[in-house]
Structure 1
Amino acid sequence: MATRLNPYLNFRDTARQAMEFYQSVFGGELTVSTFAEFHASDDPAEQDKVMHSQLTTANGLVLMGADTPNTMSFTIGTSCSVSLFGQDDSELRGYWDKLTVGATISEPLATAPWGDSFGTFTDAFGVSWLVNISGSPS
């Protein structure tokens, strides 16, 4: 198996909802394991938190996420950005349209100085996204 680099997102009590939302956008298979299943916390308030989740799509996208334990600090939107890029304009614009529902758009999806379509936003769960649709090869 090749080495892979996958985004791993941290949440505060919204990992399940966020990962289910991403599954509704990208499709694929979502696995979710709780703190209780891993015996990861003695705190009764943490038993239903997501210890690990993974969304894997048929076309090879992988996104992982978890809830941050109550004993750890957490600041929304500052720890990670997800870069979504490729050449399939229709597919990527479709993802943009779905992911930006309830989002704050920082830079609208438009032609960038380097010739690609590019945009950035923070989704409804506080995750920062960059979308780049490659232009035609020269």
Structure 2
Amino acid sequence: MKSNPYLSFRDNAREALDFYQSVFGGTTAINTFEDFNASEDPEEKNWVMHGQLEAPSGLVLMMADTPKSMEYSPGGSMSISLSGFLKEKGELEGYWNKLADGGQVIMPLEAPVWGGIFGMVVDRYSVTWMVSISDDNETS
């Protein structure tokens, strides 16, 4: 079984998908509401009904635009955690720097009291990310 984050946006899922592809690399796929004849509002026909990013690291992000007829809360109440070991420090720091660009750092990426390296950032799309880098002999 896999667990994949599914992110909701109002009308900028396509823009967010492009941003996350620039952060993590990989390939994207998009289906619009029009593709499935599921658009109730003509303005929403080209909105993303389902978008997906498959990154080389194995990360899969899914996302969609939320129609105006549905309630939408930017960012919600969840965080996405990216975890790795010191050998992946450069890769994780690269993700961190790109996610922080245009976002807000909540906790700088630095050594916390429990060891390793940890930070929290809210990206430009109001998604909260936690980055955790453990010593090689610890579990992530």
Normalising by the residue count of structure 1, what TM-score does the alignment of the two structures yield? 0.94
Q: 1:42 offset after TM fit, Å? A: 2.8
Aligned 1:1-138 pairs, distance under 5 A: 3-87=1-85, 88-137=88-137
Quote how far apart the aligned CAs of 1:79 are: 3.8
Identity %: 49
Cα deviation for residue 136 of structure 1 reads 3.4
Supply the distance in 1 between the matched residues of 2:80 and 2:90 (Cα, whole angstroms).
Answer: 19
Structure 1: tracts of 5 or more residues without a match: none
Once the two structures are superposed, what CA deviation does each residue of 1:34-91 show, in whole Å capped at 9, x if it has no partner?
Answer: 0000111231011011000010022311000000111111111124321111111010
- Where 2:115 maps in the other structure, the secondary structure is coil
Aligned length: 136
Partner Cα distance (1:7, 1:73) in 2: 19
Structure 1 moving runs of 4+ over 6 Å: none
Secondary structure in 1 aligned to 2:75? coil
Deviation at 1:134, TM superposition (A): 1.1
- Report the residue type matching 2:99 in the other structure: L
SS at the partner of 1:33?
strand
Output the TM-score relative to the length of structure 2: 0.92
Once the two structures are superposed, residues 17-50 of structure 1 have per-residue CA deviations (whole angstroms, 9 ceiling, x without a partner) of 0010000111100001100001112310110110
Shift in CA distance, 7/123, structure 1 to aligned 2, threshold 3 Å: same
What is the aligned-residue RMSD (CA, Å)? 1.2
What SS does the corresponding residue of 2:14 show, helix, strand or coil?
helix
Structure 2 unpaired stretches of 5+: none
- How far 1:103 moved relative to its partner? 0.6
Preserved CA contact (<8 Å) 1:11 1:68: yes
Matched residue SS, 1:66: strand
